Structure 1
Amino acid sequence: MEIRWHIVFIIIGAAIVTFIPRILPLVALSRIQLPSWALQWLKHVPIAIMAALIGQELFAPQGEASFFINKAELVAALLTFTAAMITRSLLGTVLIGILSMFALRLFI
């Protein structure tokens, strides 16, 4: 098997391009002390990103707003959200989400 060097360089370049945006903020922010309001604000960023991803998948799966087309996904999301609020367990939430989606797709 021959090595295609242009593919190797593309892979290395993609790794560098992926690595730089992840490491630069880490290095820059590790050397400064952020104010408490910034730390409070940053705590909400992962939740906001997850909500945006889930909301887009539930309410605009093909890029258009369609509120009640994905009934099974909406019910599974509500069950999963309820499980997350009650159990506060990542494993329990994932299991409830997978099982509820499995059951809803099997029976609906």
Structure 2
Amino acid sequence: MNVLWTIIGCGIVTWLSRVIPFVLVKNFDLPKWLIQYLSFVPLVIMTALIMENIFTHHAGSLPTVNYENLLATVPTFVAAIISKSLIVIVVVGIVSMALIRLAF
């Protein structure tokens, strides 16, 4: 029963942390500089996620390159630049990774 309450509690906290900012910002006009600053957040998050998967961290030494992920990233970036369609990007990424894992 404790596990159920923990899951429910985590769901509520997650939901509130995503809804409260929208409710608070809805009633205020944000300064232009803040809106411009916040426009970079999605780009920074995606860059961090990509870099985390390309480089493998080893405690006490420099990170190493995960060549499978790096190779799959190249056609995915090309698809992103050409198509600008999320579904195309996802499909190209999945197919690229599947082909690389099949080949290696």
3-state SS in 1 of match to 2:64: coil
Residues 26, 104 of structure 1: CA spacing in aligned structure 2 closer, same or farther, 3 A cutoff? same
RMSD: 1.8
Q: Percent identity?
A: 38
Aligned residues: 102
1:99 partnered with 2:95: yes
Higher strand share: 2
Unaligned runs of 5+ in 1: none
Q: Distance in 1 between matches of 2:47 and 2:74?
A: 13
Highest CA radius of gyration, 1 or 2?
1
Residues 7, 73 of structure 1: CA spacing in aligned structure 2 closer, same or farther, 3 A cutoff? closer
3-state SS in 1 of match to 2:63: coil
Unaligned runs of 5+ in 2: none
Instruction: Spell out structure 1 runs of 4+ moving beyond 3 A.
Output: 61-64
Aligned to 1:24: 20
3-state SS in 1 of match to 2:28: coil
